[in-house]
């Protein structure tokens, strides 16, 4: 029994860190999809880019990890803003399939570009000394790196809460998500808000790609490989519901870890069965208002 | 969210235009047999993907079912054909039909559950079904051979006459015959009452159900028919290559077939015939040139088609032909 509880606690911890990274990567997509109604299937590409830029900054410019990550995030966010103004802005009123294909095309360009620039192999980011040890937890060791992931996830949740609930920008953002044209009519510059949100979303993806590289190894196929799991979070969160995306990311992270641990034979695809059932029952998302 | 498909769709009572394209394409396909006798294996592969894309056009172009998981049916068809042959059923034509039926049965079972969805939830669930089958096939090694795949199968001669040859002559003509048959069937279907009803469902689901149309049943039937053809394509891949690998179920195959169809043009059946050779030849050539560059090229092509040349190759051809006749047909956007 004690054994079981101990393993359960560790599954929750390990699954929770997995969920935290999933949350950081996908929350940007949840937000922009609610706001822009564009399924940006290239979202994973921005995450991969964040990771690769971090490696580049550390290896080529000799930057410290804690400098390289934020610089990479800012660069990707700027690229996101640029992409929103030039490409994504053309996607708002075209059919869904076209949006999907165009963003898949962008993801392809990234995959090919990453493979050409960095080669087809998996890259690892050297963690700074502070993050490479482990701490003692319930008599077992737990990597500091994972504590760091949980902390960053918590900080981002706090940040979201502060921006959304405590600032005018947040209020405008919520207005734009709820009713775009009404927000526009009250004088909110929705275009600017969308651009900022998209930049923030891609920046968050980059952050997740950079600090989550220990769980999601960086490789050229990254944008396609992790697309399914990212989209699962978005679909179950209900396209635009940031609060539920926290819960969904955690549940998916923990459920996936638990399934792989207790049912190693089925573990890999248990999560997909769950998703099929969940979306089929509640197509608007797990926490959508019924109606 | 409303689903519309980026086709320049036929208006309801039109006979499909440009039947010439089909004849030209099939004439060219026959010419390939004589002009490139040493590339017939690649040509057969292209034909198989044209058939696969044709099946997607039935679901996506006609019925408006936006799916990112069509490789599920392709893969089920391929594995079924492989299992049949390994179990001793080596007759190819019945093997293909049984494989198609298995894929159709899967679609028929899934349809009532997932076709109630539209838009992104539908895309998600079809994607999840695809990934689920892939992961399952990966784990069930006693059934699928896992990473190694199914191999060591042989097939008896087609119709008991035509031996399979290493030059792919039988393979190519066999694939072409199936493609022509399926194309003719789909062409008849588009002009049938069922085809018109599907088009109605695609344009406005609610209105069709208010008109007394049993939308879900019709969509499921369309999905199953589409899956049948996808399964046939998969079975043909198994029979011509005498091998079934995990990649037949991969997300990459699902994306490939959507890209083929969109490059060619959605909703006219011809798109599949035009897109498959263009996509696969570009993929083949650019992979030879540089193993990584092809994704960049395909990516830019997709962006280009979506932003500039909506309607794909078929759309461009259609416009060129219409211009040369000095008129744009009615109901054509832009």
**Dist. CA B136–CA B130, nearest whole Å:** 10
Q: Is the ipTM of this complex over 0.85?
A: no
* pLDDT, position B102: 95
Whether residue B12 has pLDDT greater than 50: no
Q: Determine whether the interchain pair B299/A283 forms a contact, defined as Cβ–Cβ distance below 8 Å.
A: no
Residue B319, token pair as written in the block: 């416009």
- Across A50-54, A275-279, B307-311, the highest mean pLDDT is recorded for A50-54
Q: Chain A residue closest to B297 (CA)? A: A109
Which residues of B are less than 8 Å from A37 in CB distance?
1
* pLDDT, position B329: 54
Give pairs for A187-193: CB < 8 Å, separation 24+. A193/A35, A193/A169
* pLDDT, position B55: 95
Q: Determine whether the interchain pair B117/A283 forms a contact, defined as Cβ–Cβ distance below 8 Å.
A: yes
Range from A3-7, A202-206, B170-174 carrying the lowest mean pLDDT:
A3-7
Task: Give me the residue label for tokens 């609930």.
Answer: A165
**Dist. CA A235–CA A284, nearest whole Å:** 8
- Using CB atoms, pick whichever of B66, B119, B296 lies closest to residue A112: B296
Task: Give me the residue label for tokens 């349809």.
Answer: B111
Query: What digits encode the pLDDT tens for the residues A200-252?
Result: 999 999 999 999 988 888 988 888 888 888 888 888 887 667 888 888 899 88
**Dist. CA B313–CA B174, nearest whole Å:** 26
Helix extents (H) in A239-283: 242-262, 267-281
Helix extents (H) in chain B: 19-35, 40-56, 71-86, 92-114, 119-139, 141-144, 169-191, 193-203, 205-210, 215-241, 251-264, 270-289, 293-307, 312-324
Whether residue B268 has pLDDT greater than 80: yes
* pLDDT, position B322: 75
**Sign of the dihedral through C-alpha A240, A244, A245, A248:** negative
Which residues of A are less than 8 Å from B247 in CB distance?
none
* pLDDT, position A165: 83
Query: What digits encode the pLDDT tens for the residues B200-251?
Result: 888 777 888 787 778 888 889 999 999 999 999 999 999 888 888 888 998 8
Query: What digits encode the pLDDT tens for the residues B99-128?
Result: 999 999 999 999 888 888 877 778 888 888
- Across B73-82, B187-196, B249-258, B297-306, the highest mean pLDDT is recorded for B73-82
Whether residue A267 has pLDDT greater than 70: no
Average pLDDT for B14-41: 74
Pick from B66, B119, B2: nearest CA to B258: B66
The mean of the pLDDT values for chain B is: 82
- pLDDT category at A287 given cuts 50, 70, 90 is low
Report the C-alpha dihedral over residues B173, B178, B183, B185, rounded to 10 degrees: 140
3-state DSSP assignment of residue A123: strand
* pLDDT, position B72: 93
Write b or e for each residue in B14-42: b if 16 or more Cβ atoms lie within 10 A of its Cβ, otherwise e: eeeeeeebbeebeeebeebeeeeeebbbb
Q: Give the number of A-B residue pairs with CB atoms closer than 8 Å.
A: 138
- pLDDT category at A50 given cuts 50, 70, 90 is very high
Query: What digits encode the pLDDT tens for the residues A142-189?
Result: 888 988 999 999 999 999 889 888 888 888 888 887 787 888 888 888
User: How large is the C-alpha radius of gyration of chain B?
Assistant: 19
* pLDDT, position A57: 92
Average pLDDT for B179-197: 86
* pLDDT, position B6: 40
Write b or e for each residue in B294-313: b if 16 or more Cβ atoms lie within 10 A of its Cβ, otherwise e: bbbbbbebbbebbeeebbbb
Non-local (6+) Cβ contacts of B218 within 8 A are: B63, B194, B197, B198, B201
Which residues of B are less than 8 Å from A87 in CB distance?
303
Average pLDDT for A257-269: 78
Q: Determine whether the interchain pair A280/B117 forms a contact, defined as Cβ–Cβ distance below 8 Å.
A: yes
Q: What phi and psi values does residue B60 have, to the nearest 5 degrees?
A: -85, -50
Query: What digits encode the pLDDT tens for the residues B158-168?
Result: 786 777 777 77
Cα-based distances in Å from B187 to A217, B180, B321? 47, 10, 21
Q: Determine whether the interchain pair A98/B136 forms a contact, defined as Cβ–Cβ distance below 8 Å.
A: no
Strand A140-143 vs strand A134-137: parallel, antiparallel, or unpaired? antiparallel
Q: Determine whether the interchain pair B294/A112 forms a contact, defined as Cβ–Cβ distance below 8 Å.
A: yes
* pLDDT, position B11: 44
**Dist. CA B129–CA B71, nearest whole Å:** 10
* pLDDT, position B327: 58
Which helix (H) or strand (E) segment holds residue B244: the answer is strand B243-244
Whether residue A89 has pLDDT greater than 50: yes
Q: Any idea where the domains of chain A sit in the sequence? A: 1-123+163-281
Q: Determine whether the interchain pair B295/A109 forms a contact, defined as Cβ–Cβ distance below 8 Å.
A: yes
Average pLDDT for A283-288: 59
Residue A270, token pair as written in the block: 């248990």
Other beta carbons less than 10 A from residue B116's beta carbon:
14
Range from A223-237, B177-191, B317-331 carrying the lowest mean pLDDT:
B317-331
Angle at B115 between CA B223 and CA B137, to 5 degrees: 70
Cα-based distances in Å from B297 to A259, B284, B315? 39, 12, 20
The mean of the pLDDT values for chain A is: 85
Pick from A216, A159, A197: nearest CA to A44: A216
Residue B119, token pair as written in the block: 């838009």
**Dist. CA B277–CA B157, nearest whole Å:** 27
Q: Chain A residue closest to B141 (CA)? A: A265
- pLDDT category at B2 given cuts 50, 70, 90 is very low
- pLDDT category at B334 given cuts 50, 70, 90 is very low
Cα-based distances in Å from B150 to A108, B146, B172, B197, B199? 30, 8, 22, 40, 39
Beta bridge mates, A140: A137
Please report, rounded to a whole number, the percentage of residues in chain A having pLDDT higher than 90.
27
Q: Determine whether the interchain pair A100/B66 forms a contact, defined as Cβ–Cβ distance below 8 Å.
A: yes
Range from A87-91, A200-204, B31-35 carrying the lowest mean pLDDT:
B31-35
Helix extents (H) in A167-239: 168-178, 180-185, 190-211, 222-225, 227-237
The DSSP code sequence of B308-321 is T-TTHHHHHHHHHH
Q: What phi and psi values does residue A122 have, to the nearest 5 degrees?
A: -75, 135
Please report, rounded to a whole number, the percentage of residues in chain B having pLDDT higher than 70.
91
Average pLDDT for A79-87: 92
- pLDDT category at A44 given cuts 50, 70, 90 is very high
Residue A223, token pair as written in the block: 């944008």
Residue B166, token pair as written in the block: 């290493």
* pLDDT, position B81: 92
- Residue among B131, B142, B266, B310 with most chain A CBs within 10 A, to mutate: B131
Give pairs for A190-196: CB < 8 Å, separation 24+. A193/A35, A193/A169, A194/A32, A194/A35, A194/A36, A194/A84, A195/A81, A195/A84, A195/A85, A196/A81, A196/A169
Contact call for residues A152 and A230 (beta carbons, < 8 A): no
User: How large is the C-alpha radius of gyration of chain A?
Assistant: 19
């Amino acid at each position: 029994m004690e054994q079981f509880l101990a393993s359960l606690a560790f599954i929750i911890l390990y699954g929770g860190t997995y969920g935290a990274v999933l949350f950081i990567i996908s929350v940007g997509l949840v937000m922009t999809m609610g706001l822009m109604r564009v399924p940006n299937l290239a979202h994973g590409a921005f995450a991969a880019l964040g990771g690769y830029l971090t490696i580049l900054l550390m290896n080529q410019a000799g930057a410290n990890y804690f400098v390289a990550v934020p610089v990479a995030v800012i660069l990707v966010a700027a690229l996101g803003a640029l992409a929103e103004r030039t490409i994504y802005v053309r996607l708002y009123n075209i059919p869904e399939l076209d949006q999907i294909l165009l963003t898949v095309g962008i993801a392809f360009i990234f995959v090919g570009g990453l493979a050409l620039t960095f080669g087809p192999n998996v890259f690892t980011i050297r963690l700074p000394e502070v993050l490479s040890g482990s701490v003692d937890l319930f008599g077992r060791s737990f990597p500091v790196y994972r504590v760091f992931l949980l902390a960053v996830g918590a900080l981002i949740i706090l940040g979201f809460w502060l921006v959304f609930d405590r600032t005018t920008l947040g209020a405008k953002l919520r207005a734009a998500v709820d009713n775009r044209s009404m927000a526009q009519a009250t004088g909110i510059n929705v275009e600017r808000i969308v651009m900022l949100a998209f930049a923030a979303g891609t920046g968050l993806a980059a952050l997740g790609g950079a600090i989550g590289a220990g769980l999601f190894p960086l490789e050229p196929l990254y944008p396609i490989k992790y697309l399914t799991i990212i989209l699962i979070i978005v679909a179950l969160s209900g396209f635009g519901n940031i609060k539920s995306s926290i819960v969904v990311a955690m549940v998916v992270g923990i459920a996936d870890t638990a399934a792989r641990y207790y049912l190693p034979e089925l573990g890999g695809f248990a999560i997909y069965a769950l998703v099929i059932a969940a979306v089929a029952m509640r197509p608007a998302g797990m926490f959508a208002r019924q109606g | 969210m409303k689903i519309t498909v980026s086709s320049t769709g036929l208006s309801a009572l039109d006979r499909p235009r440009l039947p010439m394209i089909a004849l030209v394409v099939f004439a060219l396909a026959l010419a390939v047999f004589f002009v490139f006798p040493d590339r017939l294996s690649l040509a057969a592969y292209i034909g198989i993907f044209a058939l696969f894309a044709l099946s997607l056009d039935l679901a996506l172009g006609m019925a408006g079912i936006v799916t990112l998981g069509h490789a599920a049916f392709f893969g089920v068809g391929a594995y079924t054909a492989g299992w049949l042959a390994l179990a001793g059923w080596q007759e190819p034509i019945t093997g293909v039909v049984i494989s198609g039926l298995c894929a159709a049965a899967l679609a028929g079972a899934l349809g009532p559950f997932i076709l109630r969805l539209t838009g992104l939830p539908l895309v998600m669930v079809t994607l999840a079904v695809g990934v689920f089958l892939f992961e399952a096939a990966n784990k069930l090694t006693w059934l699928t051979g896992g990473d190694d795949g199914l191999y060591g199968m042989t097939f008896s001669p087609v119709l008991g006459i035509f031996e399979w040859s290493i030059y792919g002559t039988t393979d190519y003509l066999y694939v072409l015959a199936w493609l022509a048959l399926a194309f003719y069937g789909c062409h008849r279907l588009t002009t049938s009452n069922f085809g018109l009803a599907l088009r109605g469902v695609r344009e406005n689901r609610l209105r069709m159900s208010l008109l007394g149309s049993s939308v879900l049943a019709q969509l499921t039937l369309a999905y199953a028919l589409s899956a049948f053809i996808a399964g046939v394509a998969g079975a043909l891949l198994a029979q011509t290559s005498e091998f079934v690998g995990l990649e037949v179920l991969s997300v990459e195959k699902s994306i490939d077939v959507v890209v083929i169809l969109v490059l060619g043009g959605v909703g006219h059946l011809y798109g599949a015939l035009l897109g498959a050779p263009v996509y696969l030849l570009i993929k083949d050539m650019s992979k030879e040139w540089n193993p990584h560059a092809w994704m960049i090229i395909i990516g830019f092509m997709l962006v280009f088609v979506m932003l500039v040349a909506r309607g794909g190759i078929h759309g461009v051809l259609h416009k060129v032909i219409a211009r040369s006749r000095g008129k744009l047909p009615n109901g054509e956007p832009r």
